[in-house]
Amino acid sequence: MPISAALRDRLALATCLERVRTDPADTWVYGYDNSRKHAVPDAVVFATTHREVRDVVQACFDAAVPLIARGRGTGTTGAAIPLHGGVVLSLERMNRILSIDPANRVLVVEPGVTNQAIQEAAAIHGFFWPPDPTSAAYCTVGGNLAVNAAGPHAVKYGSTRENTLGLRAVIGTGDEIHTGAYTTKGAVGYDLTRLLIGSEGTLAIITEATLKLTPLPESRRLLQVIYSSVRDAAQAISRIMAQPATPCALEFMDANAINMVREYAPAVLPDNAGALLLIEVDGPEQVLDDMVAAIRSVASGHGLLDFRAARTRQESDALWSTRKALSPALRNIAPNKLNEDVVVPVSRLPELIEGLDRLSRAHGIPIVNFGHAGNGNIHVNLLYDSQDPKQAAAAKPCLRQVFDLVLQLGGTLSGEHGIGQEKRDYIPLAIDPVALDLMRRIKTQFDPKGILNPDKIFPHSPK
Amino acid sequence: MSNPADNAKELAAAVQAAASSGEPLSIRGAGTKRFCTGDIPGTPLDVTRHRGIVSYEPTELVITARAGTPLGEIEAVLAERNQMLGFEPPHFGPGATLGGTLACGFSGPRRPYAGSVRDFVLGTEIINGRGEMLKFGGQVMKNVAGYDVSRLLVGSFGTLGVILEASLKVLPRPSREITLGFEMPAARAIETMNTWAGRPLPLSAAAHSGDTLYIRLSGTDSAVRAAHQRLGGDVLDRGSTLWMELREHTHHFFRNSEPLWRLSVPPATPPMDLPGTWLIDWGGAQRWLVTRTDAGTIQSAATACGGHAAVFGSATRANHLPAALGALISAVRSAMDPDRLLNSSL
């Protein structure tokens, strides 16, 4: 349904005529994200300042029209899709780094700055911002905040929530709030910063973020360890995480993933490899040998097939190439994939992988698993062909059983991608009705008319 | 060690009874932080009998305990397996409970380097103001399924719900920990702490008191040795005692009858021009000031440098909030506790 002329005028007044688009030829491309779902918005508005965002929210509040905040559309769960039309508020032009304060190790940014631009600005002063999703070159910090994004280095340095000090935001009534503080510790009020982070644009539109920076490590060393089974690897992961030299990355690939990249990987992978770990340690050059020795001693144990430590940049790149070969390989194998990012306690990893193998056989759908093993966050990829009626019919039931398995093992549906639209209907499996009801009531306080990213995260109320 | 007991049903029944009678409740732990909350009017709701470690899986780095469990008991169990609570919580008295620690949200000297209480909370079980039991989060390290209500509860002083149980991420104990002393005035100490915090060093605490900068290094033997070589300084024999005294406020600085102010400022803020005695912790971000100077002067000085100030032990109310934020916070509270039964005076 097209928006009213009155609303269009107000949006143009809030921004400018040129930055309000209603022609489907313009709005079409703002209706998708990396979930590959699509719905056309009635209007796309490009905001360039906090004030414009506030005025746009107020206009949508008055007109009771849905408002969907959008970064660069790299999310995988359909969180940025305008399910019911309405206004997509593109924040890609709010891409300024407002201030960098190396003395206090703080960076203040607008939401449209890319993760990589943040890393580059921080690196000039010897810092980095720990969240490092694979899409860093393209994704925005606004999106990182919306889903509490993370990547390989979260195992040591935490995710977006642990690395954000404060936010400026506009809630669903058009009112502005500041949360947290420039200082490390905000003493007054409730911690709304961490509540907004991960809320996928359903509580407020973030217009400014104060990020906590971390000193870049002097040096890094990469290790590749191969085990004959996931069970042996999982026990090694527990031993590695329980010793004090915490690795800065601890990535995992199961046998299916290893077999997929064999032909791409320059390093020879043993035929009987059941699980592969890529372990990265960081610190001053002179202590890295000790750290590698410490990891080697705990990594040694039942089922260890191969342990190698890269000594040069080239060797390190060669080891990473195994992991990096995965994504293109996945694309070559099946036209469609359901890409989940479940989390289980590390000790339950063997049961997860065994269970997934069982489901794969039962449903005739290949499942390939890899991910951030140090915190139990595994990317489960269901590979299928939507043109094959049998596989197409089996994919969704198989996914439901994947989630059942994960919850049975004491895990959760998502570690870093969020819920959005794709996992929304599975949320009641993970959160009991009373807690869900409370979350809905919290949303109502921020967004009384329910205009902010409606029908995401929470399924329709049963009432 | 106490006998574990699951008292959740009784606690929920008590909140339900209060919800029907409209009689407010005063949530009680061991009372070690009462100096901060004052006496809270209402029928006492004693959480200390709901105690015990529910599960502890050292290989998973996760512990789950009931709110009434003494912090000391949790720390002792972790120490047996060479693990610890990363946020180094102050007890402020014998018997301090896990519930009180979370509700008040206090963290110790390790906070700027390892994270605050909130950063370690993975999941919680609570009773809301209607007497319903709710669970948020879980026992896994990463979770973005639904809103992060667990962390909202930390530091909310019992005003959003009665914490029943919490799962915390724990850390391996560093294999070596040393404290270095450097004689220098406050201005140079602040500069030094912040320069070092901007480098990849294994810092785990930094404070300045009197004329000495104290730096704690934690990590593997070789990392600590390498950092010590780089920084220089003398190793203190009584290092661990010092940090314990700063954490618990038993350091002689805190033995004073004049008002104790806590200033939270950007860490690199130069020494502030306010009369009194100073102690600087958290690498410059947390500054203690013993002074008789009037509140207005102190607060405006803190605001001027982008921070805030409050007399320690009186800062539990969210005063001076902008209208929109104040209204929102009040609305969130109503969503959790519609009749304002829980710690209503806070």
Residues of A in contact with B62 (CB under 8 A): 345
**Facing residue for B310 by CB, picked from A154, A187, A412:** A187
Which of A188, A347, A417 is closest, CB to CB, to B60?
A: A347
Contacts of A161 in chain B (CB under 8 A): 119, 148, 151
The tokens for B46 are: 């004693």
Compare all CA atoms of chain A with the CA of B141 and give the residue at the minimum distance: A375
Which of B172, B282, B315 is the closest to A187 by Cβ? Answer: B315
Same domain, yes or no: B14 and B147:
yes
As a whole number of angstroms, the distance between CA A76 and CA A340 comes to: 9
Q: Indicate if B202 and B163 belong to the same structural domain.
A: no
Q: Does residue B163 fall inside a structural domain?
A: yes
Indicate which of A167, A190, A340, A414 best probes the interface with B, i.e. most B CBs within 10 Å of its own CB. Answer: A190
Question: Would you state the pLDDT for residue A188?
Answer: 46
Distance from CA of B205 to the nearest CA of A (A): 14
pLDDT tens, residue order, chain A (463 aa): 789 999 999 999 999 999 999 999 999 999 999 988 999 999 999 999 999 999 999 999 999 999 999 999 999 999 999 999 999 999 999 999 999 999 999 999 999 999 999 999 999 999 999 999 989 999 999 999 999 999 999 999 999 999 999 999 999 999 999 998 655 443 446 889 999 999 999 999 999 999 999 999 999 999 999 999 999 999 999 999 988 889 999 999 999 999 988 877 666 789 899 999 999 999 988 899 999 999 999 999 999 999 999 988 898 888 888 887 887 788 777 888 898 999 999 999 999 999 999 999 999 999 999 999 999 999 999 999 999 999 999 999 999 999 999 999 999 999 999 999 999 999 999 999 999 999 999 999 999 999 999 999 999 765 4
CA neighbor of A253 nearest in space, from A308, A330, A149, A317: A330
**B105 within domain boundaries:** yes
Strands B62-66 and B53-57, by their bridges, are antiparallel
What is the domain count for chain B? 2
Q: Is B301 among the domain residues?
A: yes
Nearest CA in chain A to B81: A242
Q: Are A265 and A321 in contact (CB under 8 A)?
A: yes
Instruction: Note whether B140 contacts A177, CB cutoff 8 Å.
Output: no
Sign of CA dihedral B11, B14, B20, B21: negative
In total, chain A counts a number of residues equal to 463
With an 8 Å Cβ cutoff, is A137 touching chain B? Answer: no
* Strands B162-169 and A336-343, bridge-based pairing: unpaired
DSSP A28: G
DSSP A312: S
CB spacing of B154 vs A343 below 8 angstroms: no
Query: CA quadruple A328, A330, A335, A340: dihedral positive or negative?
Result: negative
Task: Say what the pLDDT of residue A218 is.
Answer: 94
Chain A residues touching residue B266 (CB < 8 angstroms): 101, 104, 106, 182-183
Contact B144 A148 (CB under 8 A): yes
Residue-range domains of chain A with CATH: 5-90 (3.30.43.10), 97-215 (3.30.465.10), 219-321 (3.30.70.2190), 334-408 (3.30.70.2740)
**CA–CA–CA angle A187, B214, A217 (5° rounding):** 80
Q: Which of A183, A243, A344, A441 to mutate to test the interface with B (most CBs of B within 10 A)?
A: A183
Q: Which residues of A touch B139 (CB under 8 A)?
A: 345, 410
In Å, how far is B17's CA from the nearest CA of chain A? 19
* Set of chain B residues whose Cβ sits within 8 Å of the Cβ of A178: 322, 325
Query: Are B149 and B41 contained in the same domain?
Result: yes
Q: Tell me whether residue A49 is exposed, middle or buried, using C-beta atoms within 10 angstroms of its C-beta: 0 to 12, 13 to 18, 19 or more.
A: middle
CB contact under 8 A, B223 and A185: no
Res B314: pLDDT: 67
pLDDT at A187: 43
Whether B320 is in a domain gets the answer no
| 3-class DSSP state of B142 | coil
Beta strands A214-215 and A176-180: pairing type?
Answer: unpaired
A-chain CB neighbours of B308 within 8 Å are 181, 183, 187-188
Beta bridge partners of A308: A224
User: Any idea what DSSP says for residue A112?
Assistant: T
Q: Are residues B97 and B165 in the same domain?
A: yes
Cβ contacts from A onto B, under 8 A: 265
To which residue do tokens 């490390």 refer?
A: A184
- Tokens (6 digits) for B68: 């009434």
B191 and B283 belong to one structural domain = yes
Q: Which residue of A has its CA nearest to B175?
A: A244
**Do B134 and A103 make contact, defined as CB atoms within 8 angstroms?**
no
Report the distance separating Cα B138 and Cα A273, nearest Å: 32
CA dist list (Å): B262 to A130, A168, B124: 30, 25, 29
* CA-to-CA dists, residue A283 to A6, A218, A243, A289, A312, angstroms: 59, 6, 16, 10, 16
Q: Check A427 against B331: CB less than 8 A apart.
A: no
- Distance of alpha carbon A124 from alpha carbon A177, whole angstroms: 31
Q: Give yes or no: residues B157 and B184 share one domain.
A: no
B156 and B113 in a common domain: yes
Interchain CB contact of A318 with B (< 8 Å): no
The torsion angles phi and psi of B86, rounded to 5 degrees, stand at -65, -25
State the Cα–Cα distance between residues B210 and B186, nearest whole angstrom. Answer: 8
Helix (H) or strand (E) holding B56, with range, is strand B53-57
* Domain co-membership, B31 together with B145: yes
B344 is a domain residue: no
Tell which of A101, A155, A188, A290 to mutate to test the B interface (max B CBs under 10 Å): A188
Asked whether the beta carbons of residue B145 and residue A346 sit closer than 8 angstroms, the reply is no
Q: What residues have CB less than 8 Å from A311, skipping those under 6 apart?
A: none
Neighboring chain B residues of A187 at a CB cutoff of 8 Å: 262, 264, 308, 310, 315
For residue B293, give how far its alpha carbon lies from the nearest alpha carbon of chain A (Å): 21
Nearest-neighbour CA in chain B from A24: distance (Å): 33
Amino acid identity of residue B257, one-letter, is S
Q: Which residues of A touch B107 (CB under 8 A)?
A: 185
pLDDT of residue B36: 85
Q: Could you give the count of Cα atoms lying within 13 Å of A297 in the half-sphere of its Cβ?
A: 9
Surface of A (409-428) touching B: CB under 8 A: 410-419, 423, 427
Distance CA A462, CA B37 (A): 40
Residue ranges making up the domain that contains B165? 8-172+331-336
B54 and B134 fall within a common domain: yes
In the beta sheet, which residues pair with residue B265? none
What are the per-10-residue average pLDDT scores of chain B (346 residues)? Answer: 85 98 97 90 97 94 97 98 97 96 95 95 97 94 91 93 98 96 98 96 97 96 94 95 97 93 95 97 97 95 92 64 84 94 92
Alpha helices in A262-348 (DSSP H): 285-299, 313-324, 326-333
Find the residue in B nearest to A201 (Cα).
Answer: B147
Distance from the Cα of B94 to chain A's closest Cα (Å) equals: 24
Would residue B243 count as lying in a domain? Answer: yes
> What pairs with residue B63 in β-bridges?
B56, B168
The DSSP code for A38 is: B
Q: Is residue B341 part of a domain?
A: no
Q: Do B59 and A126 touch (CB under 8 A)?
A: no
Q: Cβ B264–A187 below 8 Å, yes or no?
A: yes
Residue B343 within a domain: no
Residues 335-354 of A with CB under 8 A from B: 343-347
Tell me whether residues B286 and A185 touch, CB distance under 8 A. yes
Across the interface, of B60, B144, B197, the residue whose CB is closest to A418 is: B144
CB distance B282–A239 less than 8 Å?
A: no
Choose among B135, B147, B172: nearest Cβ to A442: B147
How many Å apart are CA B169 and CA B122, to the nearest integer?
Answer: 7
Which residue's entry shows tokens 């996992």? A423
Partnered with residue A168 across adjacent β-strands are A178, A208
In this structure, are B298 and B152 located in the same domain? no
Same domain, B146 and B105: yes
Indicate whether B168 and B180 sit together in one domain: no
CATH number at residue B148: 3.30.465.10
Contact between B146 and A238 using a beta-carbon 8 Å cutoff:
no
In the numeric block, which tokens belong to residue A65? 């029209």
